[in-house]
Structure 1
């Protein structure tokens, strides 16, 4: 073990570059792996300060072991297969069997030791995004440490000096490795169990891929024209709903590791922004929102009291980001009559369907032939028909009487009588029209 002076001095650099056998007399800790894309239940602390554990949408929390007062974790960087939705699997890079990797949870004041084994086809590192730590533990390959060679295990060890929400990702061939899905959350809970306590605490990362329909591997050179907008490498309708018991205090933590900002909008509620990458927002400095813009490389957390039962949409408000496998070269045919053309094409291709003459809503209902390993652009059905969404979209499901650790889907909400929009079948008033419908940009000269 290093003492504090050695740790913050040259010993930190040596430790970051050293083999695991130099730091642990117990041997390498187990590296659990997860194959399922289902959301796993929260992992409550069994020792140390109490805290409300987070729940990772379509993800899980990495277990740890205690070794002489140090929490030890083991990450394995490796190629993974990620089910993005039913019927579509992507070949990505990640950690411990999944992309994103498992969420790491610990407590302010903990000392952590994280073993990182590299099973990728190239070298890597891990950067602990937003955390205060020694330079030699910061994970920038070539600058603060040697790159981790293929087949080797390196160790990161540092004290958690502040609570908050952080991320981890490589700083080694970052363009390729992050584009392939290498990222994860690191949540540090407050030492005081009463500080910022909530009843439900959700976390998810915003990530994006360019995966050609019918293919499996992302195009890592893409910079702007992505077609799979994801939460934790999942797309609607297979993003887990956020299940909440009525009157719970709820926190939602969102990290953005895409190439653009995302305005995350939640229906039915206003909320307070309570945390950023830099730390907790003081009560007098919080502000109310119904949408919160998440900048690139940043995290935002917001909180609300779940007073209103219902199924409330939560989504990115960039409209193309709630679509799947969307092409960018499709012309607009709204108002065009393609019936004669469609009849001719069907002689060669019987399954051909003209698309977009009235808009794109028909895509939510019809089943068009699509390539294998591709999901429809608009998909998902609700209790009243097609939801016509994809990508970055899910539902906050607030119900009465859900038990504390129950995150199972309660089904669709049944609106009480008189609280749902209905069809008007009575008479319609005559439409009022202007006598002169011509728009006048400027007044006519008086001498005309």
Structure 2
């Protein structure tokens, strides 16, 4: 269960006296409480109780940062600090993040709001926060050494600006960026439209694509890795421990996907086609939207898509790069398909009787066997469904569309039971003769009269 310590209410009389400059130093007496999260499950959204109404977003395996009102300004408190994040059951990573977690909490506000964000640095080196995609004064942009000095360890700086446009944005350091982002420092910044009738949806999900290189048995990411990551994550979680996207039939659903890894990710959702309605540059006009079943998310970008949940079922959603739906992958493992390992197995079992040869017929058996693995790591393929092992990992989850899910209910409804006649079944009868390509143009080797089967 998650444990979020809510912000204390504050009246205008308790307001902090701060400069609007990003490098303004503050006293801890005037700071909003730094809300924390120490659990990995999805926090149900909390609808606003004041101001313009909006439908709050749902950060998978994450949460939204509370705020306090101070003379008409929304005040938030981010704490950059070392954190321990459970990537999956049985595996914890020692990361850097915000307010007890990686990814950091989602910031939600409304177009036209003025926000004041206190950033306290509890890291061993200086940091900054760049507000990715937001339009704001140059001195608030968060590029250390360019926009303002880096925030030293133990100090608190203030960022203050007006939210001049709605959309989906991100935040991350722009100081020692390679190290700090590789350690998990990133989060979402959602600005809702000031007009509640503009682009309304019933369910609004957030997925941040990030990645780590952590050797089995170790805890700290290798920050110098450029491309060969072995853990591909959503919101710093890996399947089978990424929560499902729970939806009620006929809901209008938005999925916002941001990418702060070092490669692109083609996100594919089964069972539906959808419309791309937003990028981190802004909303896509109706006449410019396009239909997809997969949307490629470039590095440093965000794409949002929407669909009407009319098809009941359990529908996979995942990155379509196959190795991104695997866990703890070893890049030096040879391919054994077709190899005869019987003699080798006999010799190894003389010294290691429990040795199991694997890989000669493919890798599916790895998902079925509970093999011993090193401490603090996870199997390469994992997860069980109603019909057996799912053989997935990494960037994978399930969109669960059901009848009668109450608004605000995101609890897992369990596995979908396919109605009779709608599930593939084994055929035991006679098979029709399969068609063959008779044309010489389709023959692989006409001289030997070998033709290609269409099956």
Change (3 A) 1:16 1:421: same
**Aligned residue runs from structure 1 range 105-254, under 5 A:** 105-254=108-257
**Aligned residue runs from structure 1 range 47-446, under 5 A:** 47-430=50-433, 439-440=444-445
Query: Deviations along 1:279-324, whole A, 9 cap, x unmatched?
Result: 0000010000000000000000000000000000000000000000
Deviation at residue 441 of structure 1 after TM alignment: 8.8
When the two chains are superposed, the root-mean-square deviation of aligned CA atoms in Å is: 1.9
Tell me the distance in 2 between the aligned counterparts of 1:380 and 1:230. Answer: 15
Please tell me whether the aligned partners of residues 20 and 160 of structure 2 are also in contact (alpha carbons under 8 angstroms). no
Change (3 A) 1:347 1:97: same
Structure 2 gaps of 5+ residues are: 1-17, 448-455
Change (3 A) 1:204 1:321: same
Please tell me whether the aligned partners of residues 94 and 182 of structure 1 are also in contact (alpha carbons under 8 angstroms). yes
Q: Tell me which stretches of 4 or more aligned residues in structure 1 moved more than 4 Å.
A: 430-438
Structure 1 gaps of 5+ residues are: 1-11, 443-448
Tell me the distance in 2 between the aligned counterparts of 1:199 and 1:261. Answer: 28
Deviation at residue 81 of structure 1 after TM alignment: 0.3
Query: What SS is found at the alignment partner of 2:93?
Result: strand
Deviation at residue 428 of structure 1 after TM alignment: 2.4
Please point out which of 4, 24, 39 is paired with 1:18: 24
The number of residue pairs the alignment matches comes to 430
Deviation at residue 210 of structure 1 after TM alignment: 0.4
1:41 aligns with 2:44: yes
Deviation at residue 151 of structure 1 after TM alignment: 0.2
Query: Deviations along 1:122-142, whole A, 9 cap, x unmatched?
Result: 000000000000000000000
Tell me the distance in 2 between the aligned counterparts of 1:394 and 1:14. Answer: 42
Tell me the distance in 1 between the aligned counterparts of 2:203 and 2:382. Answer: 28
Please tell me whether the aligned partners of residues 84 and 100 of structure 2 are also in contact (alpha carbons under 8 angstroms). yes
TM-score scaled to structure 1, two decimals?
Answer: 0.93
Pick which of 178-187 and 367-376 moved more.
367-376
Aligned counterpart, 1:8: none
Deviation at residue 430 of structure 1 after TM alignment: 4.5
Please tell me whether the aligned partners of residues 80 and 98 of structure 2 are also in contact (alpha carbons under 8 angstroms). yes
Please tell me whether the aligned partners of residues 117 and 154 of structure 1 are also in contact (alpha carbons under 8 angstroms). yes
Tell me the distance in 1 between the aligned counterparts of 2:342 and 2:384. Answer: 28
